[in-house]
Amino acid sequence: MKEANIKCKVLSNNEIAKNIYEITLQGNISGIPGQFYMVRAWEGLDPFLSRPLSISDIEGDIIHFVYEVKGKGTKELSSMKTNEVVQLTGPLGNGFIIKENMRSAVVSGGIGIAPMIYLLKQNHKMMDMFAGFRAEPYLIDVCNAHSKNLYVASEEGLGGYKGFVTELINVEDYDVIYACGPHPMLEALAEGNKDKAILYVSMEKYMACGIGGCLGCTIQTRNGMRRVCKDGPVFEAKEVYFDE
Ligand SMILES: Cc1cc2nc3c(=O)[nH]c(=O)nc-3n(C[C@H](O)[C@H](O)[C@H](O)COP(=O)(O)OP(=O)(O)OC[C@H]3O[C@@H](n4cnc5c(N)ncnc54)[C@H](O)[C@@H]3O)c2cc1C
Ligand code: FES
């Protein structure tokens, strides 16, 4: 499907944990788990580029994004009020390939939980969820409602297991694993996996156009140069060099 420019109305925009917001928008949206939109919440050219955010949930014409405030773009987004307008371009990227009737796990690190909510909801109670955080956990109730089993880790010991989420999962228990989070987490999963399970990783790269035209998000893979925005963001881990 061709990406579209869509104007959406803000329904709500709330801080759900320290520096973590959930914004709910209404408009003519669509998309599958793992896809993303380029989001623009400001007039004018500063910041120049729209910012990529993963679809965290879709219900009819309502879309949810969960985002961490990092710099100017996400700060602007966090200041959006009910009934103001946000510009979206998308849906973009490939999304997750769902393997049915397989032992499936979802692994997230930090804000990497955002796209996994939609994945879990679309596969209600079919997948085990491993959610890792540096500090306080968030979105735990919704994960609990839609996962088969939920395992939570916090590096600072603020909920669930104290340590890394990768210490909680036994990859050999699964045929397919979907992961989104910091590169060291993805790399640790890939190393533990030894290619036994199908491991899908959602990659993050700084993006300019978001639609495959500028090559700004290109990564070197075992299958040559690939654009994260167009060929990804979801790749099979065996294709990816994590130390790039
Ligand atoms: C496909 C995709 C989906 C994403 N989905 C989400 C999501 O659902 N929720 C969410 O919170 N974030 C998500 N991100 C990351 C998000 O796009 C960035 O955090 C955001 O663009 C930062 O913009 P900013 O203007 O707030 O910060 P900036 O001022 O642009 O940057 C702040 C700091 O973060 C660094 N940075 C910015 N973007 C990236 C990046 N992509 N990778 C590594 N470092 C970066 C900058 O170098 C700088 O140090 C996603 C990224 C991609 C590529
Ligand atoms: S951001 Fe332009 S090609 Fe990916």
| pLDDT one-digit tens code per residue, 78-129 | 999 999 999 999 999 999 999 888 999 999 999 999 999 999 999 999 999 9
Q: Which residue has the higher pLDDT, 4 or 142?
A: 142
Residue 190 has pLDDT above 90, yes or no: yes
Residue 193 lies in a domain: yes
User: Same domain for 18 and 56?
Assistant: yes
What CA–CA distances, in Å, run from 163 to 42, 167, 228?
38, 7, 30
Round to whole Å and give the CA distance between 196 and 166. Answer: 16
pLDDT tens for residues 40-55?
998 888 888 999 999 9
Atom of ligand 2 nearest to the CA of 227: 4
For residue 230, report the distance from its CA to the centre of ligand 2, in Å. 7
E strands, 71-189, in order: 85-92, 104-109, 127-133, 150-154, 161-162, 176-180
Number of compact structural domains in the chain: 2
Residue written as token pair 């609990």 = 144
For residue 69, report the distance from its CA to the centre of ligand 1, in Å. 9
Residue 220 lies in a domain: no
Residue 13 lies in a domain: yes
The tokens of 99 are what? Answer: 């393997």
192 CB near ligand 1 (under 6 Å): no
User: Same domain for 86 and 144?
Assistant: no
Average pLDDT, rounded, for the chain: 95
Atom of ligand 2 nearest to the CA of 214: 2
Domain at 190, CATH number: 3.40.50.80
Domain at 57, CATH number: 2.40.30.10
DSSP 240: B
Which residues 6+ apart lie within 8 Å of 68 measured at CB? 19, 20, 21, 74, 110, 111
140 CB near ligand 2 (under 6 Å): no
For residue 66, the SS3 value is strand
Residue written as token pair 């955010």 = 53
User: Same domain for 85 and 140?
Assistant: no
For residue 212, report the distance from its CA to the centre of ligand 2, in Å. 4
pLDDT tens for residues 56-92?
999 999 999 999 999 999 999 999 999 999 999 999 9
Atom of ligand 2 nearest to the CA of 213: 3
Would the pTM of this model clear 0.85, i.e. be above it?
Answer: yes
User: Same domain for 71 and 115?
Assistant: no
Q: Of 136, 127, 137, 83, which is closest to residue 107 (Cα–Cα)?
A: 127
92 CB near ligand 2 (under 6 Å): no
Round to whole Å and give the CA distance between 225 and 222. Answer: 8
What is the residue range of 31's domain? 4-92
User: Same domain for 9 and 65?
Assistant: yes
Mutation choice for ligand 2 from 206, 217, 235, CB with most ligand atoms inside 8 A: 217
203 CB near ligand 2 (under 6 Å): no
| Dihedral sign computed on CA atoms, order 202, 204, 205, 207 | positive
Residue 1 has pLDDT above 70, yes or no: no
